[in-house]
Chain A
Amino acid sequence: MGYMAEISTSPALFAPGEARRPAWRERFARKAWEVAETIATPLAPADYLDMFNPLRPGADLRGRVVKVTPETADAATIEIKPGADWQGHTPGQYVRVGVDVNGVRHWRAYSLTHGPRKDGLISITVKAVPDGKVSSHLVRRLRPGKIVHLEQAAGDFVLPSDLRGHKFLMVTAGSGVTPVIGMLRNLFPVTDEGVVEHQRLDVTVVHLAPSRPDSIFIRNLESLHEAGAIRLVTRYTGSEGRLDIDALTELVPDLKERTAYACGPAGLLDSLQAWYDAEGLPLQTEQFRLATVVTGEGGTLAFTGKTVDAPGDKPILDAAEEAGVLMPSGCRMGICFGCVLPMKEGAVRDLRSGELTVARPGETGPEGVPIQTCISAAAGECVIDHPAS
Chain B
Amino acid sequence: MTIAPDAPAYTGPIAHLTRDDIEQLGRELDAIRQEVIDTRGERDAAYIRKVIKVQRSLELGSRAVLLASIFPPAFVVGTVGLSIAKILDNMEIGHNIMHGQWDWMRDPKIHSTVWEWDNASTAEGWKHSHNELHHTYTNIVGKDNDLGWGIMRVDEEQRWTPSSLFQPAMNFINMCIFEYGIAMYDLELGRVIRQKKKGRRPSAEWEMAAKRTLAKVRRQAFKDYVAHPALSMVTLSGPTTLVANLIANFTRNVWTHSVIMCGHFPEGVETFELKDIPENESRGEWYVRQMLGSANISGSKFLHVMTGNLSHQIEHHIFPDLPSNRYAEIAPKVRALFDKYGLNYHTAPMPQQVASAWHKVVRLSFPNGFLESTNVRNAPSQFVKLVKAVRGDTRTRRRLLKEFEAAGAASVGKAI
The residue that B41 contacts in the complex, of A39, A41, A48, A103, with Cβ under 8 A, is: A103
With A35-B227, A48-B56, A102-B41 as contacts: A41 and B220 at CB distance below 8 Å: yes
Q: Mark A215-239, 1 if CB is under 8 A from B, else 0.
A: 0000000000000000000000000
At the interface, yes or no: B173 with Cβ under 8 Å from chain A? Answer: no
The residue that B42 contacts in the complex, of A38, A43, A102, with Cβ under 8 A, is: A102
Residues 68-119 (chain A) with a chain B CB within 8 angstroms: 100, 102-106
Q: Mark A27-44, 1 if CB is under 8 A from B, else 0.
A: 000000001001101110
CB pair B56 A39 closer than 8 Å: no
Q: Could you say which of B41, B127, B220 has the most chain A C-beta atoms within 10 Å of its C-beta? A: B41
At the interface, yes or no: A247 with Cβ under 8 Å from chain B? Answer: no
Residues 96-147 (chain A) with a chain B CB within 8 angstroms: 100, 102-106
- Which residue of chain A is the closest to B219 with respect to CB atoms? A41
With A35-B227, A51-B57 as contacts: A389 and B104 at CB distance below 8 Å: no
CB pair B113 A324 closer than 8 Å: no
Q: Which secondary structure dominates chain B's binding surface?
A: helix
A-B contact count (CB 8 A): 70
A102 and B44 alpha carbons, distance in the complex (Å): 9
CB pair B44 A51 closer than 8 Å: no
The residue that B100 contacts in the complex, of A47, A105, A324, with Cβ under 8 A, is: A324
CB pair A104 B56 closer than 8 Å: no
Q: Which residues of B contact A39 (CB under 8 A)?
A: 63, 223, 227-228, 231
Q: Could you say which of A43, A48, A327 has the most chain B C-beta atoms within 10 Å of its C-beta? A: A43
Q: Which residues of B contact A324 (CB under 8 A)?
A: 100, 103-104
CB pair A42 B220 closer than 8 Å: yes
CB distance from A64 to the nearest CB of B (A): 17
With A39-B228, A42-B118, A100-B45 as contacts: A321 and B106 at CB distance below 8 Å: yes
At the interface, yes or no: B324 with Cβ under 8 Å from chain A? Answer: no
A41 and B44 alpha carbons, distance in the complex (Å): 27
The residue that A38 contacts in the complex, of B53, B109, B113, B223, with Cβ under 8 A, is: B223
CB pair B56 A103 closer than 8 Å: no
At the interface, yes or no: B116 with Cβ under 8 Å from chain A? Answer: yes
Q: Which residues of A contact B233 (CB under 8 A)?
A: none
A38 and B216 alpha carbons, distance in the complex (Å): 12
At the interface, yes or no: A387 with Cβ under 8 Å from chain B? Answer: yes
Q: Mark B177-199, 1 if CB is under 8 A from A, else 0.
A: 00000000000000000000000
State how many residues of chain B have any CB contact under 8 Å with chain A. 35
With A103-B45, A326-B111 as contacts: A38 and B105 at CB distance below 8 Å: no
- Which residue of chain B is the closest to A328 with respect to CB atoms? B108
- Which residue of chain B is the closest to A106 with respect to CB atoms? B106
With A51-B53, A389-B112 as contacts: A38 and B227 at CB distance below 8 Å: yes
CB pair B228 A326 closer than 8 Å: no
Q: Which residues of A contact B104 (CB under 8 A)?
A: 103-104, 324
A327 and B228 alpha carbons, distance in the complex (Å): 37
With A100-B105, A104-B106, A326-B113 as contacts: A38 and B222 at CB distance below 8 Å: yes
At the interface, yes or no: B359 with Cβ under 8 Å from chain A? Answer: no
CB distance from A112 to the nearest CB of B (A): 24
At the interface, yes or no: B117 with Cβ under 8 Å from chain A? Answer: yes
CB pair B116 A42 closer than 8 Å: yes
A324 and B223 alpha carbons, distance in the complex (Å): 34
- Which residue of chain B is the closest to A47 with respect to CB atoms? B56
The residue that A387 contacts in the complex, of B42, B56, B113, B219, with Cβ under 8 A, is: B113
CB distance from B220 to the nearest CB of A (A): 7
Q: Which residues of A contact B223 (CB under 8 A)?
A: 38-39, 41
CB distance from B69 to the nearest CB of A (A): 15
Q: Mark A271-294, 1 if CB is under 8 A from B, else 0.
A: 000000000000000000000000
Q: Mark B222-244, 1 if CB is under 8 A from A, else 0.
A: 11000110010000000000000
At the interface, yes or no: B107 with Cβ under 8 Å from chain A? Answer: yes
CB distance from A61 to the nearest CB of B (A): 13
CB distance from A87 to the nearest CB of B (A): 21
A102 and B53 alpha carbons, distance in the complex (Å): 19
Q: Which residues of A contact B63 (CB under 8 A)?
A: 39
- Which residue of chain A is the closest to B63 with respect to CB atoms? A39
CB pair A326 B108 closer than 8 Å: yes
Q: Which residues of B contact A326 (CB under 8 A)?
A: 103, 106, 108, 111, 113
A389 and B99 alpha carbons, distance in the complex (Å): 10
CB distance from A345 to the nearest CB of B (A): 22
Q: Which residues of B contact A327 (CB under 8 A)?
A: 106
Q: Which residues of A contact B105 (CB under 8 A)?
A: 100, 103-105
Q: Which residues of B contact A47 (CB under 8 A)?
A: 56, 109
Q: Which residues of B contact A106 (CB under 8 A)?
A: 106
A263 and B200 alpha carbons, distance in the complex (Å): 67
- Which residue of chain A is the closest to B52 with respect to CB atoms? A47
Please give me the 7 A-B residue pairs with the lowest Cβ-Cβ distance, nearest first.
A103-B45, A42-B116, A102-B41, A105-B106, A103-B41, A103-B42, A38-B227
| Sample of 23 A–B contacts (CB below 8 Å) | A35-B227, A38-B219, A39-B228, A39-B231, A41-B223, A42-B216, A42-B219, A47-B109, A48-B56, A48-B60, A100-B105, A103-B45, A103-B104, A103-B105, A104-B41, A104-B105, A104-B106, A105-B106, A105-B107, A326-B103, A327-B106, A389-B100, A389-B112
Residues of chain A at the chain B interface (Cβ within 8 Å) = 35, 38-39, 41-43, 47-48, 51, 100, 102-106, 321, 324, 326-327, 387, 389
A38-B222, A47-B109, A48-B60 known; 7 new pairs, CB 8 Å cut-off, are A39-B231, A42-B118, A100-B45, A103-B46, A104-B105, A324-B100, A327-B106
